[in-house]
Amino acid sequence: MRKKIVAGNWKMNKTLEEALILTSEVVNMVRDEVRGDVEVILCTPYIYLPVLQKYVEEVDRISLGAQNCHQKASGAYTGEISAPMLAALGTPYVLVGHSERRQYFGETDELLAEKVKIALANGLKPIFCCGELLEQRQNEDFIAIVKAQITAALFDLSSEDFGKVVIAYEPVWAIGTGLTASSQQAQDMHAALREHIAGQYGAQVADDTTILYGGSCNEKNAAELFACPDVDGGLIGGASLKSREFTNIIKARM
């Protein structure tokens, strides 16, 4: 059985004080209101991870994730954070290949393959983000483009390692724009990606792979998106910065 996950990507938002307030509110609401087997992940700025750890420990189903990691284990890479550092903090998840990393920091699928490997080698679970640009959706075989991102970054993993990866399909045109993929568009892509994974790793691994949808998901559209058979949860940006809305999205996945 694959996991249901709702992950929040805070991006570069919140002061420490605001981060503590948001986390306490989410922890309290999830503890009091969320039932069932949905797992909640807060992908916060790196500097808050050690501070927030004790807050999220209060509720079993909540854990932390980083938003990135460097592809090397250590060395002269000023300003960077490594997978072993995150692992030593006890951070279980790391986002890899968010479209903002691809777009503003030039991250390629080849680089992302290295990041996925170093994350796994250090016991972190990568949440691998993929998705097409608007021009690609309008003019190209966009399903093939997203499949190729997965092939390039993930398909030389062993099945055991692949089984630790969460996929987040995030159409770039829907991220932070208020435009959401329709539930049919999301389902079509998720089903195509699951079939692609089955072609490489077999039906059982594909069936066990958690595939999240991300892109302007909010408390109004979450239930419809999560009702799709191949949509296992969400990666939530803007709406994860508001505790009530984020909790409502989690409840839509219960």
Q: Give the residue ranges of the annotated binding site.
A: 9-11, 176, 216, 237-238
Q: How many residues bind ligand PEP (CB under 6 A)?
A: 13
CB distance 211 to 181 below 8 Å: no
Question: What residues are designated binding site for substrate?
Answer: 9-11, 176, 216, 237-238
Choice from 176, 207, 220, 227 touching ligand PEP (CB under 6 A):
176
Nearest approach, Cβ of residue 165 and ligand PEP (Å): 16
Comparing CB distances to ligand PEP, the nearer of 201 and 246 is: 246
Give the footprint of ligand PEP on residues 179-218 (CB under 6 A).
214-217
Closest CA to 235 of 163, 130, 136, 110: 130
70 noted as active-site residue: no
200 burial via Cβ count (<10 Å: 0-12, 13-18, 19+): middle
**Per DSSP, what are the bridge partners of residue 5?**
39, 233
Catalytic residue among 100, 132, 170, 219: 170
Amino acid letter, residue 67? Q
Comparing CB distances to ligand PEP, the nearer of 26 and 235 is: 235
H/E stretch holding 62:
strand 62-66
Q: How far apart are CA 217 and CA 178, in angstroms?
A: 8
DSSP state of 216: S
Q: What is the CA radius of gyration of the chain?
A: 17
CB distance 99 to 131 below 8 Å: yes
Nearest approach, Cβ of residue 110 and ligand PEP (Å): 22
170 noted as active-site residue: yes
219: left (phi over 0), alpha (psi -120 to 50) or beta: alpha
Comparing CB distances to ligand PEP, the nearer of 84 and 168 is: 168
Nearest approach, Cβ of residue 88 and ligand PEP (Å): 26
Give the footprint of ligand PEP on residues 224-253 (CB under 6 A).
235-239
Q: How far apart are CA 139 and CA 45, in angstroms?
A: 35
DSSP state of 174: G
When CB distances to ligand PEP are compared, the closest residue is 237
Catalytic residue among 98, 100, 190, 196: 98
- Which stretch, 76-84, 131-139, 170-178, 183-191, contacts ligand PEP (CB under 6 A)? 170-178
Q: How far apart are CA 194 and CA 163, in angstroms?
A: 13
**Under rule CB under 6 A, residue 42 binds ligand PEP:** no
**Under rule CB under 6 A, residue 132 binds ligand PEP:** no
**Under rule CB under 6 A, residue 149 binds ligand PEP:** no
Which residues are tagged catalytic? 98, 170
Q: Where do contacts with ligand PEP occur on this chain (CB under 6 A)?
A: 9, 170, 175-176, 214-217, 235-239
